[in-house]
């Protein structure tokens, strides 16, 4: 992976732009059954995560998200739906690659949307990268997040059999590969904590303001990838995901400033270092069953955690694929968690 320590200093203009973008997010969403807790979890993720990965349009399973090898390091766990395509008179939706990890509840999806009516009109808006990030060799340059703000515009969702949100995360338009006839899209996803493994998952394209999917494809069931866990269960690491649970009054995603994977020889692979602007994650989701403090405000997702008791967790979809056999511990801020 390309070193992601390329970020400019945070400026007032950048901060204002992020806040403006968040404020512009539509209040009116598709009328599906989603708990208020899940909506709060999305808000936490949007406010706290500016993850991404290096640019480049190369081959592979997930070329936008893993430009180094396209995700070949985890290719043995990648699956394709039994019926990968769905179409109507206007569009053909094809899911090319799916990677869902049951242990860390993270996932990646690569898909294509083809224009069949010949109009060449993109059915959604995108949130472009700020000018300070559009520089040679800098992350995010090809990552335009799909966004629907007006009725009739399309967005993508991963839902369970009951029509509730199962996985959440950004869907990115690959601007370097896409044309006015074919849109290449890659999704970085994290499951809500109340997702029940074994439930059927569907990826659908929806028009804002409408409840029924325009097109949908049934996804393969998540499978358990190799993983490591700390003795107290606070840290779970897989080849694509990292979950950290903290006993704290502040939101975990807000107070995790440094994360590194430490190997047997003592060397470290830094995943997050806020002080140095390093962030080797694609997406993060914060969830909490009890009220937690976030930027001088108090939030609670109301989502049951995966175990009994309270839960204050940060889940990260990684932009690197660690060699688990060499990882001995995870360093979170000033704490080291031995893994087994």
Determine, yes or no, domain membership for 2. no
For the chain, what is the mean pLDDT?
77
* One domain for residues 257 and 161: no
**190 and 264 share one domain:** no
With helix as H, strand as E and coil as C, how does the chain read?
CCCCCCCCCCCHHHHHHHHHHHHHCCCCCCCCCCCHHHHHHHHHHHHHCCCCCCCCCCCCCCCCCCCCCCCHHHHHHCECCCCCEEECCCEEEEEEEEEEECCCCEEEEEEEEEECCCCCCCCCEEECCCHHHCCCCCCCCCEEEEECCCCCCEEEEEECCCCCEEEECCEEEECCCCCCCEEEEEEEEEECCCCCCCCCEEEEEEECCCCCEEEEEEECCCECCCEEEECCCCEEEECCEEEEECCCCECHHHHCCEEEEEECCCCEEEEEEHHHCEECEEEEEEEECCCEEECCEEECCCCCCCCCCCCEEEEEEECCCCCHHHEEEEEECCEEEEEC
| Whether residue 215 is found in the same domain as residue 233 | no
How high is the pLDDT of residue 175? Answer: 86
pLDDT at 141: 55
Is residue 127, in this structure, part of any structural domain at all? Answer: yes
Position 3 in a domain? no
Flag whether the pTM goes above 0.85: no
Whether residues 198 and 270 fall in one domain: no
Residue 258 has pLDDT above 80, yes or no: yes
Q: In this structure, are 135 and 215 located in the same domain?
A: yes
Domain around 60? 12-219
| Same domain assignment for residues 167 and 239 | no
* pLDDT of the residue at 44: 45
Choose one of 219, 246, 274: the last residue of a domain: 219
CATH number of the domain to which 334 belongs: 2.60.40
298/62: higher pLDDT: 62
Last residue of a domain, which of 179, 194, 219?
219
Assess whether pLDDT exceeds 80 at residue 90: yes
Q: What is residue 198's predicted lDDT score, i.e. its pLDDT?
A: 80
Least confident of 44-53, 122-131, 174-183, 323-332: 44-53
Looking at the domain assignment, is residue 311 inside a domain? yes
Q: Residue 199 has what pLDDT? A: 82
Same domain, 185 and 301: no
Q: How many domains does the chain have?
A: 2
- Note whether 30 and 173 are same-domain residues: yes
């Amino acid at each position: 992976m390309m070193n992601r320590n390329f970020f400019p200093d945070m400026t007032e203009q950048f901060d204002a732009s992020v806040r403006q973008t968040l404020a512009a997010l539509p209040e009116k969403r598709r009328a599906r059954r989603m708990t208020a807790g899940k909506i709060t979890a999305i808000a936490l993720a949007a406010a706290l995560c500016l993850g991404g990965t290096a640019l480049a349009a190369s081959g592979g399973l997930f070329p936008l998200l893993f430009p180094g090898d396209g995700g070949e390091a985890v290719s043995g766990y990648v699956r394709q739906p039994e019926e990968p395509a769905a179409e109507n008179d206007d569009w053909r939706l094809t899911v090319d690659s799916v990677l869902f990890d049951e242990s860390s509840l993270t996932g990646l999806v690569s898909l294509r949307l083809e224009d069949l009516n010949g109009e060449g009109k993109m059915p959604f808006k995108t949130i472009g990268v700020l000018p300070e990030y559009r520089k040679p060799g800098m992350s995010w340059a090809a990552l335009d997040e799909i966004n629907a703000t007006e009725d009739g515009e399309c967005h993508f969702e991963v839902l369970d059999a009951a029509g509730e949100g199962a996985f959440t995360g950004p869907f990115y338009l690959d601007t370097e590969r896409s044309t006015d006839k074919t849109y290449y899209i890659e999704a970085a996803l994290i499951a809500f904590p109340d997702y029940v493994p074994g439930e059927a998952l569907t990826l659908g394209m929806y028009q804002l303001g409408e409840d029924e999917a325009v097109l949908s494809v049934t996804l393969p069931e998540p499978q358990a990838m190799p993983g490591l866990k700390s003795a107290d269960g606070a840290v779970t690491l897989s080849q694509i995901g990292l979950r950290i649970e903290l006993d704290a009054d502040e939101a975990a995603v807000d107070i995790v400033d440094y994360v590194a994977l430490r190997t047997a020889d003592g060397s470290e692979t830094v995943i997050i270092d806020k002080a140095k602007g390093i962030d080797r994650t694609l997406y993060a989701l914060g969830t909490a069953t009890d009220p937690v403090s976030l930027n001088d405000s108090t939030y609670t997702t109301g989502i049951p955690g995966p175990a009994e008791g309270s839960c204050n967790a940060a889940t990260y979809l990684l932009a690197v694929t660690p060699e688990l056999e060499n990882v001995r511990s995870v360093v979170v801020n000033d704490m080291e968690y031995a893994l087994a």
